[in-house]
Amino acid sequence: MNKVEQNKQIVNNAFDQAAKGNLEGFINALSKDFKWTTIGSTAVSGTYDIKGLLEVYFPKIAVSFESMPIIVPDHIIADENYVIRLGHGEGGVAKNGLEYNNIYCLVIWVEDGKIKGITEYYDTDLVQKVKLGQC
């Protein structure tokens, strides 16, 4: 298996763990100096390290939903140290009753067998409408 395929497998395995509710499995795929950047100027936008993900980002998101969306990957594109996951949410309902099924582009940096960074792009207007992270 070449490096590009290995990196895709690392990313897919990590996100499969998260989808199963195995947060520890997801976290174990991250490098010690990992950073997650969520674009925009919303209540959840910013850059988070692992501690920030666990203590700030994920809790802000979790309390915003009646029903968490499942993020379905539509396309996975890889080149050298980057894996791009294009996907969409299904089944999401925000606390304010609005449907939340965003579209996503995750640009994932993989180095030395670990996920070193993720930049998350999505519809920030939808994030504002459902008041994600403002509960």
Q: Write out pLDDT tens, residues 19-50.
A: 898 999 999 999 999 999 999 999 999 999 99
Q: What is the CATH number of domain 3-129?
A: 3.10.450.50
Alpha helix locations (H) across the chain?
3-19, 23-28, 50-52, 58-62, 124-129
Of 82, 86, 93, nearest to 130 by C-alpha is: 93
pLDDT < 50: residue spans in the chain: none
Q: Classify residue 78 by burial, with Cβ atoms within 10 Å: 0-12, 13-18, 19+.
A: buried
The domain limits of the chain are: 3-129
How many whole angstroms separate alpha carbon 51 and alpha carbon 60? Answer: 13
Q: For 112, phi and psi rounded to 5 degrees?
A: 55, 40
pTM, to two decimals:
0.93
Say what the pLDDT of residue 21 is: 87
Say what the pLDDT of residue 125 is: 96
Q: Which tokens sit at 117?
A: 């960074």
How many whole angstroms separate alpha carbon 76 and alpha carbon 105? Answer: 10
